[in-house]
Chains A and B, each alone.
Chain A
Amino acid sequence: MTSAKAYKDAALAARLSDRVYRPAEDSDPSFTAEVEKIGGTAAHLCFQCGTCTGSCPSAPRSSYRIRTFMRRANLGMKDVCLNDPDLWLCTTCYTCSDRCPRDLIPTDVIMAMRNMAAKQGIVPKNFLATVNFIYNTGHGVPNNDANRVARVKLGLEPEPETTCKYPEFLPAIRKILEAYGTKQLADKVLSEGQ
């Protein structure tokens, strides 16, 4: 039998075992753990060098700051993270993850936060429109006439080797989107008008 060493005063033990510095009242230490679990990267090892934002193609064009999200993740600032529209400005190019000197994957931290936000129904409409595209065509960016002409010009068949050519596989894709509730989420949010 094993038992953990503990202080007698339970409240004191809880306070001392909380290693998270929390600047805001609403910050949630379990948020850091949840982000690390979903993202599969040890986000708490970030030392805020800024290589990620420096590498980011989105940063010079937008208010998106990946380093700021890393900091917020480590401070447990769940509501701030999940409600910040900047969360959706990452292009997921993974350049920050290639260069991070601490060998972390900031992109996956963002992806984890997006997952958590989506579960709360916080998703921009354009992302959900993409869900509908996939549901209807199997593609986030469906084939179109201009594309078909270009493909023929290059000596390719007008339709690629995907659901475009084999629409009989579309039901399977729809099944996946429905099984994970993605389609239902898209319909719900889009119908509400957000």
Chain B
Amino acid sequence: MVYTGKNAAAAEAPEEPRIGVFICHCGTNIAGSIDVPAVRDYAATIPHVVVAQNYAYMCSTPGQNMIKDAIAEHHLTGVVVAACTPRLHEPTFRTATANGGLNPFRFEMANIRDQGSWVHMHDWDGGTAKAKDAIRIAVAKATKLEDLYPMSVPVEHRALVVGAGIGGIQASMDLAAAGIETYLIEKQPTIGGRMSQLDKTFPTLDCSQCILSPKMAEAGRTPGIKLYTLAEIENVEGYIGNFDVTIRRHARGVLTPNEAAAKGIIGGGCTGCGDCSNVCPVVKPNEWEFNMAPRKAIYICHAQVVPLIYTIDFDACVKCGLCITACGTKKAIDLEMQDELFTIKVGTVILATGYEAFPIEQKKEWGYKLYDNVITSLEFERLICASGPTIGHLVRPSDGETPQSVGFVLCAGSRDNTGIGKPYCSRFCCMYSLKHAHQVIEKIPGCRAYIFYMDIRSFGKAYEEFYYRVQNEGAKFIRGRVAQIQELPNKNLIVVAEDTLLGNQVQIEVDLVVLAAAIQPTAETEIVRRQFGVSCSGDKWLLEAHPKLNPCGTTTAGVYLAGVCQGPKDIPDTVAQAEGAASAASIPIHSGHVELEPYYAQCMQNLCAGCGMCTRLCPYSALSMTVVDGRTVMEVTAAKCKGCGTCGGFCPGGAIKMQHFTSPQILAQIDAFFLGGEQ
């Protein structure tokens, strides 16, 4: 049955509220810790309650039909479901309420599971009493509920992807393929992210650049993708369907061919020839190679960059002008270039801001940055990579010699509750360390690989088989977390750990130690998160809307997550989530409009004194002053209002009404709590 907006029964007798209460067992989640029949019998005695029922799974089809049937049979004006959380099942029960012919906003939820049975699991009487209170309060609100109507707003047919690692690239390509113009914003001068720094990928050992570069190139030339590198989000306004995002393009100092053409330089702009870099006198460490290789002040990070446009490091540039001469008639270099700000309008947004290595030098017992031959796994990737600073010849930093024994320290900073490291598992370290062990055994005949591990978490498809393979190749596995590393005068290292399976302390001398450092969100993640109003979990990874059933969405409508910014994951999982996020982000765009919850503020203009103080308090710029019948009063732009209630709580005249959270509704709830109760 389709919701028609008005209940015929309610229209006939609007003065007396008739509430139905439906109590869910949630299997034994609720019924195992709360006396549901007692709660039901109590609910039936609450004023205005005309029917109280209980059922094993209220969210199931029979459960929803109970609600629907009761609305018709008892001419209900309001529905209370005592079950889990609104976040989980408010949409479900609203639909059921609407199917019964009531306005869906006549539904109110009492949370007796997450805030009831689960927290009072061993307190039968206390949990039961609390459930009764929660239902009485919900009934009080239900008696005051009003019909509300969602607002439909059009959705801009464009999307934004923040971060151009493999996740961002995949999401952009999918969106573009679905016919949605997509802005891809990257802070670095090139796209590609962490994956472009890797040598090979587990467990198939295909070369990271070989599978990534074609995707980077395609992302760079797909017409549907508007790529902006060296760019950051400056400001975000708006809401799902209509985000106004201001982008800051940092001064690159070099014009692209298109930009040169726009300036009237025919045949100009950077072609990536590198003549400028050859003459540049300034040498700096290349951050992209973890400072293990040099670069000039005008540079590209590596040979496969997309876009192939040189970049000037203005902090290092001495403005000698040699590059301008070398560039010649292409006139690509502009040493006076300034940052550029521009605003784009998009319907949905995908965040793919990735990760960085935890500063593992904070764990002093492993001696990173103290001992020359202790390196991180990302540095190892560059040292073993054919396009890296050593052209793929693994050397140890202290003397450039080929190591004959390498120690791999797993869980370096992960699974650490001391407050220095990270309490979570970084999830892909086991697998890449197995791959590293394979690589040293393969590349350096006779080289010994020692893997110090607590558990090998080879969870993915063909991962356990890879573990078997590396073990078969001769890697030595020592089950024990490394306690300390000591340096010898010849710069060799003593790795000290307990072989816990043997029960003995072992001290193994190796030439090189690789720390599988924990990962953490990039510094930009926190900034971008605040700009888009996305929540994060305690460990600072961005918070998904539901850990199992909505892993790509966020609690901010229209903003989605892809890749490691949501939590540690390897390349296959990142790509899968990126495709999921692209799909989710395209749904509102393709449907063309979204419905917004009618929880916006309303100004009762007959009460408004026109003081205008609320307009300055509103965090969303949703309020403005207008003149009605010669009086200055406040006006709400409903689509901008998020219903936070800041204005309503402040208004000295009580002229602002928060829909669905009105003062009479809230006061009724408070009264029900303090004045009601079992007689």
Residue ranges of A at the interface with B (Cβ–Cβ < 8 Å): 1-5, 47-56, 59-60, 65, 67-68, 99-103
Contact = CB atoms under 8 A, between A and B. Distances in A.
Interface in B369-423: 411, 415-419, 421
Contacts of B471: none
Q: What is the size category of the interface that chain B forms with chain A? A: 20 to 34
Contacts of B482: 51, 54
Given A54-B496, A59-B505, A101-B418, A47 B454 contact: yes
Given A51-B483, A54-B480, A55-B483, A5 B419 contact: no
B124 A2 contact: yes
A49 B480 contact: yes
Contact of B483 (A1, A54, A103): A54
Given A2-B126, A5-B124, A55-B483, A101 B505 contact: no
A2 to B, nearest CB: 5
B500 A5 contact: no
A142 to B, nearest CB: 34
A101 B411 contact: yes
B124 A103 contact: no
B505 A103 contact: no
A99 B480 CA distance: 13
Contact of A103 (B123, B419, B499): B419
Contacts of A51: 480-483, 497-498
Interface of B: 32-33, 121-126, 365, 411, 415-419, 421, 454, 479-484, 496-500, 503-505, 507
24 contacts: A2-B123, A2-B124, A3-B123, A3-B125, A4-B124, A47-B415, A49-B480, A50-B497, A50-B499, A50-B500, A53-B480, A53-B500, A53-B503, A54-B496, A55-B365, A55-B484, A59-B504, A60-B507, A67-B498, A67-B500, A99-B365, A101-B481, A103-B417, A103-B418
Nearest to B478: A50
A56 B483 CA distance: 9
A49 B496 CA distance: 13
A1 B125 contact: yes
A109 to B, nearest CB: 16
Nearest to A58: B505
A4 B141 CA distance: 32
Contacts of A2: 123-126
B516 to A, nearest CB: 14
A54 B481 CA distance: 8
B480 to A, nearest CB: 4
A50 B481 contact: yes
Nearest to A56: B505
A174 to B, nearest CB: 41
A179 to B, nearest CB: 37
A51 B365 CA distance: 11
Contact of B498 (A5, A47, A53, A101): A53
Contacts of B484: 54-55, 99
A65 B481 CA distance: 15
Contact of B503 (A1, A49, A68, A102): A68
Contacts of A3: 123-125
B500 A49 contact: yes
A48 to B, nearest CB: 6
A5 B505 contact: no
Nearest to B453: A49
Nearest to B120: A2
Residue from B33, B480, B500 with most neighbouring chain A CB atoms (10 Å):
B500
Contacts of B33: 5
A101 B124 contact: no
B417 A101 contact: yes
Given A50-B483, A101-B411, 12 more contacts: A4-B122, A50-B497, A50-B500, A51-B480, A52-B498, A53-B498, A54-B480, A59-B498, A60-B507, A65-B498, A99-B365, A100-B418
A20 B116 CA distance: 28
A52 B496 CA distance: 11
A55 B483 CA distance: 5
A65 B220 CA distance: 58
A99 B125 CA distance: 44
Contacts of A101: 411, 415-418, 421, 481
